[in-house]
A and B are shown apart, each in its own frame.
Chain A
Amino acid sequence: MTTQRIKEGDSVLPGERLGVIEEYLPGEGTFQDEDDVIYASITGIVHIDMKERKISVEATTRTPVYPKRNDVVLGEIQHVTKKSAIVNIFQIEDTPCPVTFSGYLFIKNTAGGYVEQMRDLFAPGDLIIARVQQQADGLARLSTVGTRFGVIKASCSRCGEPLHLQGRRLECTECGNYEQRKLAKNYGKLSKAEPVEEEPPIEEGI
């Protein structure tokens, strides 16, 4: 186990010592222990980024899907409070998740400006595209700042019918109701992913 120094391109296994925290930042596929030693957590190939002084392991096995920083995710608003929303993430990048993951969207990270209340921008049941800001304690912190991000599908809060884009707001063709959302650029079109109408794994209650 304590062999020579780990080099770029080495094959490592879980639990293998990679270095100490003074040498590198622990990147993906690694973990830092209480003793400030960095170990590999997966089977793979070592990459050392000397610019950022970061050591990571690229998996040679299959990798379980879960939201990582900077992933673009597709989710459903589950719950809206005054300042935040809980999102069920069911697609990460282009991969449907075998499980839904929880995401947290704080009001500050919604539109890039001042927003009075979360319910001005989102309602439960909306499908949104968001970016993962960070993953902490199993909760992905999301952001919808940017034209690409926001609601891509919403239904009328009065009658439940799908809302249609009418100028810059959403109109319900059934009951004539108008609603406001933080809209993604391509509202109504589920981006590149073809199987658009894919239902999220049914998720009820908190």
Chain B
Amino acid sequence: MSGKNTEVEQPLIDAKGLRTDGRKLDELRPIRLEVGNLSRADGSAYIEHGRNKIVAAVYGPRELHPRHLAQSDQALLRVNYRMATFSVSDRKRPAPSRREHEISMVLRQALEPMLFLKMYPRAAIDVFIQVLEADGGSRCASATVAALALADAGIPMRGLVAGCASGKIDGKIAMDMNDIEDKIGEADVPVVMCPERGEITLLQMDGKLTQKELAKILQMSEDGIHRIHEMQKAVLLEKYAQIRKEIGEVPEEEAEVLAAQKPEIEKDEAEKPKATKKRTKPVKAEKKEDETKPAKKEKKTKKKTESESS
């Protein structure tokens, strides 16, 4: 996130059409998901999405303090996205930044339409998202992991949401942007959607794109989100099959079949050579400076969110 660019100019896509981390244009970074990893939370989940490492914890529905925030007809969803001081290469100052507040807000708006908040009037549902290590697309990974944590807490939902930020690098449309691509690429479009319902709950854009390019990016993100969604489903099913096996409800074979599903998906997105640090293009340096960019965005959906990219 240090917006600083090194000296050597290097293309984001090499002669073979591979990206800096060795991925193809329509390939996701490796993703690993865990559910229920925090014992004291009502629901929790963990994601490693490329080099993003994010923990989400859900508490509630529970008593809301301060009381005056309570809504008499529905629960209040509070999302708190925070980055650890060690999550980026330059130490992030511990106070919540403008960017963190903003991402908290857009994530709240991305999760809200998926929940039945009317079921819990005057209550609060708290979602804490802690970024331990940030790579590009952390808000999308946060949405993915928050949805899992909410499902783990047993909070009724219309569906799981997942996020994927595609964009444009070196004139080409690429899926699931990583940090460097995010910083020096031409455009970055984080999308969060519920793939089963085909509803987009978060859409932001940073950079310039033609309408056609945007449509193509949306298509590509949708594709990526479907793949992430499959992993979310596999990890949830696996956890509860495991529990049921322990209490003897499910024959062992079935649990093993379920358990086998997940590694398969992971293999698919197997480890790729890591990004090299020395690449860059100094041109867009100032544009990508962490907290100072003006927002540029387009609204295509019901959930509109004013903001900047990460």
* Interface residue B236 (Cβ < 8 Å from any Cβ of A): yes
- Tell me how many residues of B have a C-beta within 8 Å of chain A: 39
* Interface residue A59 (Cβ < 8 Å from any Cβ of B): yes
| Pairwise interchain contact B121-A102, C-beta atoms closer than 8 A | yes
* Interface residue B263 (Cβ < 8 Å from any Cβ of A): no
When A99-B120, A101-B121, A138-B121 are in contact, do A14 and B63 touch as well, CB less than 8 Å? no
When A11-B240, A98-B60, A101-B121 are in contact, do A138 and B73 touch as well, CB less than 8 Å? yes
In angstroms, Cα B154 to Cα A44, docked, is 9
| Pairwise interchain contact A64-B197, C-beta atoms closer than 8 A | no
| Pairwise interchain contact B120-A138, C-beta atoms closer than 8 A | yes
| Pairwise interchain contact B194-A15, C-beta atoms closer than 8 A | yes
| CB nearest to B124 among chain A residues | A99
Quick one: which of B178-201 are within 8 Å of A by CB? 194-197
* Interface residue A149 (Cβ < 8 Å from any Cβ of B): no
**What's the minimum C-beta distance from A64 to chain B, rounded to whole angstroms?**
5
Q: Which listed segment binds B: A35-43, A120-128, A177-185?
A: A35-43
Give the residues in chain A near B72, CB-CB below 8 Å: 102, 138
Q: How many interface contacts (CB-CB < 8 Å) are there between A and B? A: 105
| Pairwise interchain contact B156-A61, C-beta atoms closer than 8 A | no
When A13-B237, A15-B196, A66-B61 are in contact, do A61 and B151 touch as well, CB less than 8 Å? yes
| Contact-residue size bin, chain A (C-beta under 8 Å from the other chain) | 20 to 34
| CB nearest to B157 among chain A residues | A14
Interface residues in chain B, defined as those with a beta carbon under 8 Å from any beta carbon in chain A: 42-43, 60-64, 72-74, 116, 118-124, 151-160, 194-197, 233, 236-237, 240-241, 243-244
Q: What would 7 A/B residue contacts be, using CB atoms closer than 8 Å?
A: A15-B157, A66-B61, A66-B120, A99-B123, A102-B122, A138-B73, A138-B120
* Interface residue A201 (Cβ < 8 Å from any Cβ of B): yes
In angstroms, Cα B151 to Cα A17, docked, is 16
* Interface residue A16 (Cβ < 8 Å from any Cβ of B): yes
* Interface residue A137 (Cβ < 8 Å from any Cβ of B): yes
In angstroms, Cα B119 to Cα A17, docked, is 21
| Pairwise interchain contact B158-A31, C-beta atoms closer than 8 A | yes
In angstroms, Cα B43 to Cα A16, docked, is 20
* Interface residue A192 (Cβ < 8 Å from any Cβ of B): no
In angstroms, Cα B153 to Cα A44, docked, is 12
Q: Write the A57-70 contact mask toward B (1 if CB under 8 angstroms, else 0).
A: 00111111010000
In angstroms, Cα B194 to Cα A15, docked, is 9
Cross-chain contact of B121 among A1, A16, A64, A139 (Cβ < 8 A): A139
* Interface residue A110 (Cβ < 8 Å from any Cβ of B): no
Give the residues in chain A near B124, CB-CB below 8 Å: 99
In angstroms, Cα B155 to Cα A31, docked, is 13
Cross-chain contact of B156 among A14, A99, A102, A137 (Cβ < 8 A): A14
Give the residues in chain A near B157, CB-CB below 8 Å: 14-15, 41-42
Give the residues in chain A near B63, CB-CB below 8 Å: 98-100, 201
| Pairwise interchain contact A29-B194, C-beta atoms closer than 8 A | no
Give the residues in chain B near A62, CB-CB below 8 Å: 42-43, 153-154
Give the residues in chain B near A39, CB-CB below 8 Å: 158-159
| Pairwise interchain contact A31-B240, C-beta atoms closer than 8 A | no
Cross-chain contact of B116 among A41, A98, A139 (Cβ < 8 A): A41
Give the residues in chain A near B155, CB-CB below 8 Å: 42, 64
**What's the minimum C-beta distance from B238 to chain A, rounded to whole angstroms?**
10
**What's the minimum C-beta distance from A146 to chain B, rounded to whole angstroms?**
26
Q: A29-B156, A31-B158, A64-B154 provided; 16 other pairs, C-beta below 8 A? A: A1-B196, A13-B151, A13-B236, A15-B158, A15-B159, A17-B196, A41-B116, A41-B156, A41-B158, A42-B156, A60-B243, A64-B61, A100-B63, A100-B122, A137-B118, A138-B73
| Pairwise interchain contact B118-A59, C-beta atoms closer than 8 A | no
**What's the minimum C-beta distance from B162 to chain A, rounded to whole angstroms?**
11
| Pairwise interchain contact A15-B197, C-beta atoms closer than 8 A | yes
Give the residues in chain B near A64, CB-CB below 8 Å: 42, 60-61, 120, 153-155
